[in-house]
Structure 1
């Protein structure tokens, strides 16, 4: 039956391709600057329909299958004069309309951002998400955190406050910023980079923002086209690409806890015609902590080269190297039998004599985009990730009521090698009176990982405890071990992952009544092999979206999930894959001529066989529990954009109710029906307001501020009985000042202004665990553009 459905979908695709007929006329043109240079990344609007097109590397834009009539093309750059041109479209003909911006190339620096007209709001996603549908028309809650917003908030890494910009999204603390785990809608958001699913048990390495252009959050089901993704959603980190505009920016950042950081961003042409472009990003950072003996030093190198082979073909190759040298991974973990937050924020169980952890991550992408004709575009991409970690992790053997602790240091080495291949086509065709946005593609990939946590050494004993009330950071009684790494990791690994997958997917968005009503039909066939296990599944998807007017749409979506899983069950059996179904409804609206966007979404996600950390596990035996069934349901509100000239807002609220709907577990660790899912807040509210002076001596100066509030928080791990102590509500206030004029930008931010003792944690039964956030933290950045 599943093969029959897949065959029918492929036949429909072939029929749509064979019988596609051109209807109406086309508009094409080129965007140039005042010095006659082509300008990429400019959004051109067709005002009568609300449709948008973005100029490519050659400055070319186009609109296809437009009904005959008179139309107005509009370019509206932030704080600059509009560019308009009227054109007449005739049936089965193409009209050329070039648009010239009255600014020099240098003056455009910093103006061209996603969405153009508002630096905090995006109208479309990147090409790496594969969909060609404007966000207003997409039947799903998709939000974009732009580079300008992150710069205003002085965000320097993926784990550094990005989550507060999206409704219901929280970061789950772990291992000193090695990787960022993002949660939403009752599950972990799958981590993507440039459209590739790079999620692993402990990875990928947290992205530094020096090479990141923007971050896309796809809330809810996305597995049908984005490989094996969580039904809760994904986040897609989009790296910086060449723009064809010669420019550069250097930034210096100083901050609390001895933060010193420098970045360099170079963008330009390698030849006069502009066929070969480059982008080069460099970052170096040293950073200590509010905890003694804790540090995190990093550097990254990210070169990108794009080559315009001909008018229809663009080849882009990029490489990113990230290196981290940091203190012991467990230095932030705190344990006590007395309750949460009973020790000072700067308390640590670690020891300065422990050998620092070192992590290296190499990633490479090669992307080919080819315009087959006016209606079809082919994209192919290969990617490879190589992640190596040599580290240690401290954990207690015993936590006693008098504050005495026996610590054990575990080796924790990892080697991850992932390779991916993708090929897909986007089509924009019309058959009769129906408009089709077609997507069809193939995903293949292999994920290999080796982990060694089999070696450990007891630092303390009954003859020499580590006492949390009176900590000593001299040499522990058991000494500091030197772990044996003379044997290759492939021989000593205690955990192995060897997974390969293949996915085929097809989607057709059918537009009726001049594309006001859009019906999305899609399906994906996934085959996964891991060791001796083989899993395959067909998952359908259906969505509908209706444009009430040019600025308002309503939508509904249904999707099924299939996600193979890895983990160590105490039974020794392999975990079952996640299956389930998802429903979402929403309303989207743009306000103030498209400057402000709002999204209201309601959803329900059912997942069978979800895994969660077993609280009785240790670093040497990190077991997981398999739930019977979990259910997540909630409401989300996102507001992003400009309210009035100079005043921008990012605000969101989410109500999330996530709980076990069918009992599950094993070996006495049973998670009963009604238990709340770990790692979430039932209420999550965030705001960020920015005001920029528009005139006067202080023109370009501004103030920004906002808060994050979470209520009814659940801990990050399961307990075998109701927790004796719940996590308190969370409130954090941040703010900043900035000034920007021509080539210079100054930014000063204060995080946790109220100096609250903020933390997350869990009740482990025998003791409590928590991890504190920094106290009041000041950060100052100076950027110079050239």
Structure 2
């Protein structure tokens, strides 16, 4: 951060502290709350899924997920990670290990903390924020969790939110909103290994006595280095929200989020060697202190209008705008020699990502005789454009004086540093070859019919989606598709339900076919069965599901390509099938638990004639066949140590595949992964101290891939931090 920004934040923080002090001195007046106020307050709090009764367990999705029913009744596997769990684990960003709290999730770490790419069930999950599909080929910027209330993970296709996406599912980041309280908030300070210093402030209250105008403000500032030299990730964010109650039935909410990131080059996260995974020291880096940092400015604006037509019908309209600007570069070797030396190549990476969205949807309930109908219908509009300049390159090292990874200490670039052309506008530098466009329109309707006092629920739904997109100069492609959705959920008793689901999705794609034909979209079909149960008066719950997903029409490079040809052919069909189990909640007084297991079998089912690099039976890159995670948190309830507690958990991934094609069975296998974490905390009144140690066993942990296209071929991998700690102090007021 520069001095001017620090001065502004310091001045702003000073006024916030004065505001907190003034509010703290105001006399507390006991007020009588009538039933109407209680009802309105409930509506304002409907997206806050945490509660005192169950620390980690959430029963109701946010309004932005549109389902308008308890999770127990939904014919889909939906998992919610709330803010209390994230605080206990000291997770600070979407890319900071939160996926271990949901079964079967892995992350493609290529983009480090810049982007969060979550994979499950054989493909990438789509990224949503407040119900808006913000997914792009490159992005969005990983959300800092200072302004996030919770994250909803929807497994499998979700036609009620989108159909033009991978069939694996979506994750929906739900941001903090005003709760309707008079005034309150929380301030936290966190420090940790590798010079992590982080401060957050959350203010929540009423701007007028009548409570018609509410506000929420979240601020964050962070300096963070790494166990690797010259690597850093400094950030700050500002996230104000204002909610105005126009009348008893109508509420307008405006939300703005600004994130700034100043990061070291992404290539610093990688190790490269022809000798195999883990053959270099854990703290190895290819970056250089003379390289310019990557600077990112990410802004978003939401306008949300909710209107109760009557007690049973609600209309929601939402507009959203996202603007992402980046100036930076990326390192990747142009050559990895057989003796392990490297020629480091720096390529410019300036980018712009601009998106606009519009949504209108209606929720309602009506009865026809003894049949109860939960109705959902709506319209989705979106327009996304990404531009990037990757066309400028510079080799840091001379072929006669290459970089030597096995030497300790700093090595000067023997060919000097790059000088980039940034005078030419980005739109011209990107050109058609660096531009991705997508525009879509979706219309959907869903009716959940409830029979026998809503004991049996039958979901009949469909979505029509039109998409037009172009990528990297390929001809623009259009896709129109109707995707049906059929679900069945049965309540065995008040705490147990079983469900079955059939759902479809499609992914438009672009490319050049040798015969000049049009490129068909990828299609996905999901068949799923599951059982959900709340235990011991809903203190904890479990979800068990089995699924099978078929994908068709995925493109791959044409094996007949020669020279500069870049034609594609249809790969064939892939299949993902597996079992997932999730458990969360309070086992007994003071002991909260998160536990999950996933078995994932994702393979190529058949291939197009002529495709030899990939064959039937090859495993899809980026997954572990067995994925197990646990987290236990125990708080002492009585005695001298009341308020103190311990936390512990582990993550195990067995039978892992690499991120890339190549090697035996299609991928270059990775060794099994095991990480042990633990911590302690103490809470007294409004003050809480939390300390966590990550990677307690100090294992050399990594993910990576095999670069089979290179000559000679080599391994690339990203290393996790060695044993490290975080200590935070939080004060609620």
Work out whether the TM-score is over 0.5.
Answer: yes
1:197–1:229 Cα contact (<8 Å) kept: no
**Which residue matches 1:662?**
606
C-alpha distance after superposition, 1:527-552 (max 9, x if no partner): 01125422100010000000000000
Distance in 2 separating the partners of 1:41 and 1:572: 64
**Which residue matches 1:465?**
402
2:131–2:161 Cα contact (<8 Å) kept: no
**Which residue matches 1:95?**
none
What stretches of structure 2 of length at least 5 have no aligned partner? 1-27, 471-475
**Larger deviation: 702-711 or 689-698?**
689-698
**Which residue matches 2:489?**
545
- Distance change >3 Å, CA 121–CA 768, structure 1 → 2: same
Distance in 2 separating the partners of 1:623 and 1:170: 31
- Distance change >3 Å, CA 285–CA 37, structure 1 → 2: farther
1:628–1:665 Cα contact (<8 Å) kept: no
Distance in 2 separating the partners of 1:625 and 1:302: 45
**Which residue matches 1:268?**
205
**Which residue matches 2:191?**
254
2:77 is the alignment partner of 1:141: yes
Aligned partner of 1:560 among 489, 504, 515:
504
Distance in 2 separating the partners of 1:288 and 1:522: 49
1:285–1:298 Cα contact (<8 Å) kept: yes
1:671–1:720 Cα contact (<8 Å) kept: no
Distance in 1 separating the partners of 2:419 and 2:512: 27
Mapping of residues 176-195 of structure 1, within 5 Å: 176-195=112-131
Aligned partner of 1:780 among 722, 727, 732:
727
Offset at residue 428 of structure 1 (A): 1.0
Aligned partner of 2:158 among 222, 243, 254:
222
Mapping of residues 234-383 of structure 1, within 5 Å: 234-245=170-181, 246-383=183-320
Offset at residue 229 of structure 1 (A): 3.1
Offset at residue 271 of structure 1 (A): 0.3
C-alpha distance after superposition, 1:574-606 (max 9, x if no partner): 753111211000000000101101000000000
1:195–1:226 Cα contact (<8 Å) kept: no
Offset at residue 474 of structure 1 (A): 3.9
* Matched pairs, number: 689
2:164 is the alignment partner of 1:169: no
> In angstroms, what is the RMSD of aligned CA positions?
2.6
- Secondary structure (helix, strand or coil) at the match of 2:64 reads helix
- Secondary structure (helix, strand or coil) at the match of 1:696 reads coil
Distance in 1 separating the partners of 2:505 and 2:567: 24
Mapping of residues 65-80 of structure 1, within 5 Å: none
TM-score, scaled relative to structure 2: 0.90
**Which residue matches 2:364?**
427
Aligned partner of 2:534 among 590, 593, 603:
590
Mapping of residues 603-682 of structure 1, within 5 Å: 603-610=547-554, 627-664=571-608, 670-682=613-625
Offset at residue 497 of structure 1 (A): 1.4
1:192–1:199 Cα contact (<8 Å) kept: yes
1:365–1:381 Cα contact (<8 Å) kept: yes
- Distance change >3 Å, CA 696–CA 505, structure 1 → 2: same
- Distance change >3 Å, CA 59–CA 769, structure 1 → 2: closer
- Distance change >3 Å, CA 135–CA 715, structure 1 → 2: same
C-alpha distance after superposition, 1:372-416 (max 9, x if no partner): 012110000000100111111111111112121111111111101
2:157–2:163 Cα contact (<8 Å) kept: no
C-alpha distance after superposition, 1:218-240 (max 9, x if no partner): 01111343352321000000000
TM-score, scaled relative to structure 1: 0.84
2:511–2:568 Cα contact (<8 Å) kept: yes
1:597–1:639 Cα contact (<8 Å) kept: yes
**Which residue matches 2:137?**
201
2:464 is the alignment partner of 1:525: yes
Distance in 2 separating the partners of 1:197 and 1:188: 13
Offset at residue 459 of structure 1 (A): 1.3
Distance in 1 separating the partners of 2:392 and 2:605: 39
**Which residue matches 1:131?**
67
Offset at residue 627 of structure 1 (A): 3.1
- Distance change >3 Å, CA 720–CA 567, structure 1 → 2: farther
Distance in 2 separating the partners of 1:525 and 1:747: 49
What stretches of structure 1 of length at least 5 have no aligned partner? 1-32, 43-54, 62-108
1:375–1:427 Cα contact (<8 Å) kept: yes
- Distance change >3 Å, CA 255–CA 517, structure 1 → 2: same
2:389–2:434 Cα contact (<8 Å) kept: yes
Distance in 2 separating the partners of 1:774 and 1:39: 54
C-alpha distance after superposition, 1:139-171 (max 9, x if no partner): 110000010000000100001111000000111
Distance in 1 separating the partners of 2:120 and 2:155: 8
- Distance change >3 Å, CA 767–CA 556, structure 1 → 2: same
C-alpha distance after superposition, 1:350-370 (max 9, x if no partner): 111111011110001000000
